[in-house]
A and B are shown apart, each in its own frame.
Chain A
Amino acid sequence: MIKVENLDVVYGAKDKSNHVVRGVSFAVSRGETLGIVGESGCGKSTVLRSLAGLEGAWTGSISFDGKPVGKVRTREELKLAQMVFQDPYGSLHPRHRIGTALAEPIRSMGGGDGWARVAEALQQVGLPAHFASRFPHELSGGQRQRVAIARALILSPPILLLDEPTSALDVSIQAEVLNLLADQREDRNLTFILVSHDLSVISHMCDRVLVMQNGVFVDELSREDLQAGVTHASYSRELFEASFL
């Protein structure tokens, strides 16, 4: 479903350049959930933003569903992958009502005014339809993240890119959001890439985990490895021990 080869991201000019992602390659098959774990600044979010099309400075090749995509995406390419952001307070426009926020993707894609799909989209993420007339500041963090998920799913993308979707939420809310994501994955046969620093969230959600450090993958762990606590690199060992005190 997703194939990435030799992805390189370099910021800045020649003499002060910052090599954030160093030639990473990976593939994700349909319906699979890939986790990328690492610490702040390791380049995991940059990989995700390059996949989404928000990053312009990458080289290498990215293809969705067998079709290579470029740095500037067409509408059809954008419909293949949508993203859920970390901060539920920053990812919804403060002056747009929830209904507008959900209808905007459809309108931007030229699919009419989009109102007809709003109630259904809200119900799918477990929110009542009358939330459509509310503003984001009238919702809790967990409810906002549900809206953000509904917005990402409203264009029915086969791929969802998740950038720390629960790290700003309380543990009990995190459980609800993770369950929602797992349900949607099952209903729609979605392919996820989940980026997080939290190994327990990653291991709960993912079939396969890539451990990232300084722009490269240092380890790959399967679900069985995570359960048994097996690691293949010293860094992932360290990360593993620190995560579960």
Chain B
Amino acid sequence: MPDLDETPVLSVRDLNVRFGRNSIPAVSNVSFDVGRERIGIVGESGSGKSTTGRAIMRLLPQRAAVTAERMDFLGSPLLEKTERQMGGLRGKDIALIMQDPRYSLNPVLTIGKQVAEAAKLHLGVRGKDAVARARDMLARVRINDPDRVLSLYPHQISGGMGQRVMIAMMLLARPKLVIADEPTSALDVSVRKDVLMLLDELVRENNSGLILISHDIRMVAAFCERILVMYSGRVVETLSRLEDAAHPYTRGLIAAMPDPKHPVRRLKVLDRKSIEVETNP
């Protein structure tokens, strides 16, 4: 299948999400394609970036009305799938890595059991094979002594280690699309880089697409080929380099971040009125 790399992994056109009937849309008319690449979705809290990620995974609560002209994963529409089909897809073909490993790992099972369970579920291996796969995968995410970590409980490992375990679990089945929702926000600065590098390496190796959702525009810019900037539910701009930013929101966001190399006495603050004018002409 030589042309497989040409088709986008995920293609979204006019995605709308509404909570409740009369409320303002949380996401409106969001369109983008994800190929075998890394794209970033950047925005502040309430911009709809996480909602977009969850809408793709179909993980939003019942009362959320999700509509899209098109939301195709490898050519097949996600919105028409049954809950059962989605269950088969999640974790196997589309993986979601969440912010805090302390909440996404089951506290009463050992790491080994949880990773082996993922192997059983998605790879169809059993017993010793599953444990062996789990061990390999932990070694793959550069955990030095996987045998010891396998027998630990989530509360016994650090945040950085926990996120590696999550990555191991999620990428075990070599998913075609990885959605990472603020994967490093709960981690210490010095391990952030390692976790991102690791994620990048594995995604490249599997030749899959990655959507990195974050509030940190500089980190995303350093890491992704394309950046979607979201503001109040809309994509206001798609960038490949921060320097090209034209929208006042993006520029404001960049200017609001302190930069030690260019010290200023006062930081620029967002001029929300002009942003409103620009986004709703």
Whether A associates with B in a native complex is yes
Interface of A toward B, CB cutoff 8 Å: 39-40, 170-176, 178-179, 182, 197-201, 203-205, 223, 226-227, 229, 238-239, 241-245
Which residues of chain A have C-beta atoms less than 8 A from B257's C-beta? 171, 175, 200
Tell me how many residues of B have a C-beta within 8 Å of chain A: 32
Q: Does B61 contact A (CB under 8 A)?
A: no
Return chain B residues, CB-CB under 8 Å to A199: 189, 260
Residues in B with CB closer than 8 Å to A39 are: 188-190
Check B270–A172 contact: CB distance below 8 A.
Answer: yes
For the A-B complex, the count of residue pairs with Cβ-Cβ distances under 8 Å equals 82
Is B258 within 8 A of A200, CB to CB?
yes
List 30 interface pairs A-B (beta carbons < 8 Å), by A numbering.
A170-B45, A170-B215, A171-B253, A172-B44, A172-B269, A172-B270, A173-B44, A178-B267, A179-B269, A182-B266, A197-B188, A199-B189, A200-B259, A200-B260, A203-B260, A204-B264, A223-B263, A227-B260, A227-B263, A238-B190, A239-B190, A242-B189, A242-B190, A242-B192, A242-B193, A243-B189, A244-B218, A244-B260, A245-B196, A245-B218
Closest B residue to A197 using CB positions: B189
A200 to B260, CA, bound (A): 6
Assess whether A172 is in contact with B266, with CB atoms less than 8 Å apart. Answer: no
Q: Which 3 A-B pairs have the closest CB atoms?
A: A204-B258, A203-B260, A175-B256
- Residue in chain A with minimal CB distance to B192: A242
Report the nearest B residue to A186, measured CB to CB.
B265
Given contacts A172-B253, A176-B269, A179-B267, contact A226 B260 (CB under 8 A): yes
B204 at interface (Cβ–Cβ under 8 A)? no
Partner of A171 from B44, B188, B192, B260 at Cβ < 8 Å: B44
Q: When each residue 173-202 of chain B gets 1 if its CB lies under 8 Å from chain A and 0 otherwise, what string results?
A: 000000000000000111011001000000
- The answer to whether B223 and A245 touch across the interface, beta carbons within 8 angstroms, is yes
Chain B residue, CB-CB nearest to A170: B44
Give complex CA distance A178, B270 in Å: 13
